[in-house]
Structure formats: structure tokens, C-alpha cells
Structure 1
């Protein structure tokens, strides 16, 4: 688990979708280290999710792994129902489930559109809806955008659009949720050392440059910090937005991109 200097979430219950791997797993671990009981939502990585829950429980955290495909609102509803049945409350949603997509305009199909938006956009909207319905004042919702929402990348239109929609959702939902004392924000990660980055990272380069430099070396000349983020560094942003330290911050997207340019 990530070492932290305080327990800002002691007594809270957090639901983390996409919590079995990558950034989501780091977020689940960080929120647990901050004192929260954690529900780890997963779709296909059952063993990894249950292994993470076992690790957190061994450290004294109350953790539970539950399967739910966020592309299906009924499964999302069941996830929150089970979380409530187990812990009796929900204070934090960290929505980390997502899918990547690269494809030229002429190759994008309606099925591609439906799949990407079902997970990245609709899935996050209904996760926020289900979470907010069970939250009281002080609730925290943190969705996941991407630096792609505000940067032009070749053949990345569909993914970028799905993430830009998340930033618009966060901005607009802040008004109505703020009346209930619930904040909603998003994190926009940059290049992060995950299996998804290893698989798709080259796609962020200009087509004429793809394959000429490994992603870590490419970032040395395209990022102020000159490296990939570690998942734990991105998780720190979610933990901040989920804590009382961000009590007066809502409707915003926090870019964690290492100064990408």
C-alpha cells in the first residue's frame, strides 16, 4: 500500500470502478491507505481484483471485490446495492473504468462508437448517478478524463470525444450536486506506466514517428518532467479530490500530465 502521512478518509466508504489494475488499482490502494473501506469494481480481471482485496484486508482495510460492467447500468446499480448492503453507506466514487481506442475517421464504426461511449461516458454518468443517489452532504465523486480531451492526437477522435464529454458532465453536474453538498471533479491523467500505456502509448506519437522511440524516451522530450507517471502519483490526485482538503473544489478537471507539451 502507498505510505501516507494522514488518514483523511477514515470512516468513509469508497467505490472504485475499474479497480483491478493500473490506475484504478492504485486508487483503491491509496484510498484504503487513507482509511476508507473500499469496494473494488472490476469487469474481467477477477483474480487481480480479489488478490488486491485480500492484500488490503491483510493490512486491516475493509475491502470487497465485486464484478460489474459499467457499460450496463443495471450492473452498475447492482454494484452500488451490494456496496450498500455490505457497508451501509457510500461516501466516495472513484470512476476509473475505461477503454482506449485509436482509429482513423474512415474506419470508425457505429459499434466502435457505442462501445467506447458506453464505457467511458455513459458508464461514468450512470456510476455518478447511482453514487449520488446514495450520498449525503460531503460526498465526493471523481471521474476520469484524459489529457486527450484537450490535445489533438492523430486517429484518437473517438476516445478523446468520450473523455471531453466527461469534463462537460463534471462541469454541469457540479451545479445540481452542489446544492446537496456533493462535489464532483475529474482527473485527466497523462502518460502513466500501466499495461494500457504499454499497449497503446505509441499511438500518441505522430504517425511518421511511431516506432522510432520507445514511449519513455519520447516523453523525455515531450514532457516537462520527462517521464511516465507512476500509477501511485495519479492516485494521489484522486485521493486529494476525495478528501476534505478539496471541499471547495468542484466542477473541475485536474490535469496530471507531468507538463506534457
Structure 2
């Protein structure tokens, strides 16, 4: 396996930490998040994304384990609350691809994160499900047009075994999966040959 230079956004979260652990023994991992990482970024702001890429330079892969979403009962979701999801989980991740294309080496890859609730609804999850489904559709379509052999995939995990008890309560009857298994899907996306895929860890 060729050594790669990988930009990991959301590196300090539960998922980002697991991805880093899986890949860091064989690749260089550049960690990005809002604070206390190699490079700081706010994915809701295109200028911040541009500055991140300018600072980091050319990479072989961009991985997104980031994206905030609003959770709440449908009747209480306002357009303003829904914008939180659109600006971060949806537009933030899509903009990583749109603005990062010039910084990916030939044959490189983007991997974004969605989630099971786009396929299996949960209470209070409508806003997040909307963004997840949109990201999946974007990945499938964008992958067909990506130049220079660039690949674009997404990973859709279920709730993590390591998630808090409070979070798991929103997923009754769902079988939690270990973060290590989800991290393997990112490894498959980075080191494999597939594109336009939604790796569903359900």
C-alpha cells in the first residue's frame, strides 16, 4: 500500500479518533477541527475551508468525520434550526469536495459521512436524515464526473457502541456497531478502488 497524505476533518471526535487510529500507522494524518488540531477549520464557512486547504497543500485523501445536525420534533423544527443542518452536515461536507478538488492529487479520494437515519428514521431525526440523504445523492452523482481519477464515497454508520447511553436511547432496537468497524469503511474508501459508493455499516 502506497503511503498517503490524508486530511482528516473532525479528527477530535469519536469517529475521527477511530479513523486516525486505523490509518495513522501507514499514512500521514493531518488533523483538522474547530480547535486544537494541526489546522483549524469551520466547515460552515467556505473561506475557512479554503484557508485550510491553502495551509495544508496537496493531499491524497480528504476524510470528513464532521457535520453538525439539528435534532428535534418535526413540529418544532423551524427553517432557522434546519439551516444548522444544511450549513454544516450538508453544505459543509459538499463544499469540502467542491473547494478541495484542486488540492487532491491525481487518483486521490474524498470520503464523506452520512448515517443510518436516512434509511431508517428515528424520532427527532428528520433534519439530519434530510442532509444524510442529500450527501449520499451528491456523492453518487459527483463521482461520475470527478476528474483525474479522483474517487468520491460516503460512509453511513449506525449508532456506535461507544456512543453515550443518552444517544443510544434514540435508537431503540438498533444494533450498535463498534467504531473500529466504521473506521474500516474509511480505510476501504481511501485505499480501495471504488467510487460513488455509500458504505452502509448497519
Confirm or deny a common fold (TM above 0.5).
Answer: yes
CA contact (8 A) 1:170 1:251 kept: yes
**Pairwise CA RMSD:** 1.7
Structure showing greater Rg: 1
Measure the CA separation in 2 of the matches of 1:83 and 1:194. 31
| Equivalence for 1:186 | 154
| Equivalence for 2:44 | 71
| Equivalence for 1:116 | 85
2:184 aligned with 1:236? yes
| Equivalence for 1:208 | none
| Equivalence for 2:34 | 43
Structure 1 residue runs of 4 or more that deviate by more than 3 Å after TM superposition: none
In the alignment, structure 1 segments of 5+ residues that lack a partner are 1-7, 50-64, 206-217
In the alignment, structure 2 segments of 5+ residues that lack a partner are none
Of the three residues 71, 81, 88, the one matched with 1:102 is 71
TM-score (normalizing by structure 1) = 0.73
Measure the CA separation in 1 of the matches of 2:121 and 2:201. 17
CA contact (8 A) 2:159 2:171 kept: no
How many Å apart are 1:251 and its aligned residue?
Answer: 0.9
CA contact (8 A) 1:90 1:131 kept: no
CA contact (8 A) 2:154 2:199 kept: yes
Specify the SS of the correspondent of 1:69: coil
| Equivalence for 1:19 | 11
Q: Which has the higher strand share?
A: 2
Q: How many residues end up aligned between the 2 structures?
A: 202
CA contact (8 A) 1:23 1:194 kept: no
Of the three residues 117, 123, 135, the one matched with 2:104 is 135
